Amino acid sequence: MNLTAIDWVIMFLYFVFVLGIGVFLKRFMKTSTDFFLAGRSLPAWVCGIAFMAANLGAVEVIGMGASGAKYGIATSHFYWIGAIPAMVFVGIFMMPFYYGSRARSVPEFLRLRFDEKTRALNAISFAVMTIFSSGISMYAMAKLIQVLHILDVPLAKMGLPVSWSFHLSIFISALIVLGYVFLGGLTSAIYNEVLQFFLIVAGFLPLVFLGLKNVGGWSGLKTQLPSAFTHSWQGMTNANNNPLGVEWFGLVMGLGFTLSFGYWCTNFLVVQRAMAAGSMTDARRTPLIAAVPKMFFPALVILPGMIALALPTPQQAVTVNGVVQMQTAPNAGKGLIPLKIDVATGKPAVDREGKPVLDYDLAIPNMLLHYFPTGILGLGLTALLASFMSGMAGNVTAFNTVWTYDIYQSYIHKGGSDKHYLHMGQFATIFGVLFSIGAAYTAARFNNLMDFLQLVFAFVNAPLFATFLLGMFWKRSTGHGAFTGLLCGTTAAALHHGLSLPHGDLVGIKGGWIAVLHNYPSEMAQNFWTAIWAFFVCFVVTVVVSFVTKPRDEKELVGLVYSLTDKPSEEHLSWYQRPVYLGGVVLVLALVLNIIFR
């Protein structure tokens, strides 16, 4: 990789701005609310962009590009089906309870609505999860920097071995994230998410522009890819007929309902961004504002992956019998996507049928390197680094809040002064980052352990939405019901995974570790159905247990349950400012996109 001074200047300037924002905000961090909830004072558009960008870590950007190359436009379902409806729902129906109850975190809401044990379960699993997510983000970044040889030249100049690239990347990114979160708390994290959002747009828009120009626009792309790659709903009636390997019901129920509502409506990482808004109306508008750029992001992150696949595979001149011929280079893969190289053997990896595997994760980075000359290349790489770092920072801010309010203040040290908890939050930022570094190195050493942990997290998350849905809309549901429901839902998820296996996979981490009762056409289908089972088991168990346990006094549930809470008054707002109408507009737009790219 040939980076020149101008690329480094851009990268350096970005870091100056990031830390500068932290330094500037330091003086305003006077109370714990300032630090953990940005003083509940940010405008809706800032929270909205952060709400979307917090989820737009680079693992997501790289992953969506990879899926674009692997599955084509069907990847957009993760946006149009798997995000937009849930974002509208959380804004219109759930935010009144999150914001109105004055809960400072999602686990705290569970404490108010249900009981202490439900909160503890959620807080502890969430805290552990954020640390690992942040570590995985850090690991992925260091790995990418290593693969692209970004730091090789500077390291060589300093006389250091190239193998330090990994350590140096982790050290620098951790230091910067620690710096700005420690100084400016959630405000700092949110502001940097907004910066990162615009950077990603600035870096990826020229990439899409050049890529489309090269392949002859959308119509040119259509002619070079299989038809299912450019039609998101083609073949969805049968799991075997489409690239995702899922049928429409599994897609809509699994991805569109249980997984997506579970993530966008209950994950404190994103909900925290809306809680930072200055008023109830702004908090409700936050996810709706976020939904608008979210809807159009497939054009920026999925499209480059598809273009990478459609481009001609690089060729090299080879002399055969004295005649120079152009041949596909060995290990060239397809389009700009190289073959995956097995780390252990150094040879191209093959699947179980002996076919070589493509390294889809390199689709986006290779597109950047292919089209971008020095200058804008610096901007593109900075955008990637920015999204890695804000992926970490988002998790760190969610962690320090849940740790301080829901674990430390609740179980370790009650009744301290506000200053005390503010300092604890800053301290938690430090050890949160340290734990993340530990997690990053664990990921580097034990790849399987990480896969296993992510599987466990998926089991824990799968039933969550059932608990919140019943909690907010059914006043009869009880703490015992919620707690047992969650445990049973998680168990159901694990059992379902243990009893089913995606087609062609080995028994083990992919499933079937109890017995193989059912084969799914793809891993994605298995994931979706795991979530569906977890949701329904949690739902049913919560209802049944709630009926046999004592309900809480209705007076205690005012502001926490739909039927007992006054609807927020929005008569004074013009129609386009009202969340309900905004939500309607967003849904119609998403529907139109689905119809255009059906």
| Contacting positions for another protein (CB under 8 A) | 6, 9-10, 13-14, 17, 20-21, 24-25, 27-28, 38-39, 41-43, 46, 187, 191, 194-195, 198, 202, 206, 210, 213-214, 370-376, 379
Distance CA 272, CA 357 (A): 39
Q: Which is nearer to another protein, 154 or 375 (CB)?
A: 375
Task: List, in sequence order, every beta strand (DSSP E) within 207-322.
Answer: 315-320
Nearer to another protein, 214 or 410 (CB): 214
Burial tier of 206 (Cβ tally within 10 Å: 0-12, 13-18, 19+): middle
Rank residues 422 and 538 by Cβ distance to another protein and give the closer one. 422
Q: Which residue is associated with the tokens 């920015």?
A: 386
Nearer Cβ to another protein (32/522): 32
* Shortest CB 184 distance to another protein, Å: 9
Of 182 and 263, the one with the shorter C-beta distance to another protein is 182
As to burial, measured by CB atoms within 10 angstroms (0-12 exposed, 13-18 middle, 19+ buried), residue 475 is: middle
Residue with Cβ nearer another protein (22 or 245): 22
Strand locations in 469-576, DSSP E? 500-502, 518-520
CB of 552 to another protein, least distance (A): 37
Identify which of residues 212 and 587 has a Cβ nearer to another protein in the complex: 212
Closest CB 275 distance from another protein, rounded Å:
15
CB of 393 to another protein, least distance (A): 15
Tell me how far, at minimum, the Cβ of 406 lies from another protein, in Å: 26
Tell me the closest approach of the beta carbon of residue 427 to another protein, in angstroms. 23
Distances from the Cα of 237 to the Cαs of 22, 77, 81, 210, 216, in angstroms?
Answer: 51, 15, 16, 35, 31
What is the number of H-type helices and E-type strands within the chain?
A: 25, 4
Distance CA 147, CA 341 (A): 11
Q: Report the nearest approach of another protein to the CB of residue 16 (Å).
A: 9
Quote the least distance from Cβ 18 to another protein, whole Å.
9
Query: Residue 568 carries which DSSP code?
Result: P
Question: Cβ–Cβ contacts within 10 Å for residue 339, how many?
Answer: 19
Which two tokens mark 559?
A: 């502001």
What DSSP assignment string belongs to 121-140?
Answer: HHHHHHHHHHHHHHHHHHHH
**Whose Cβ is closer to another protein: residue 244's or residue 368's?**
368
Give, in order, the Cα–Cα distances in Å from 453 to each of 16, 133, 463: 35, 10, 17
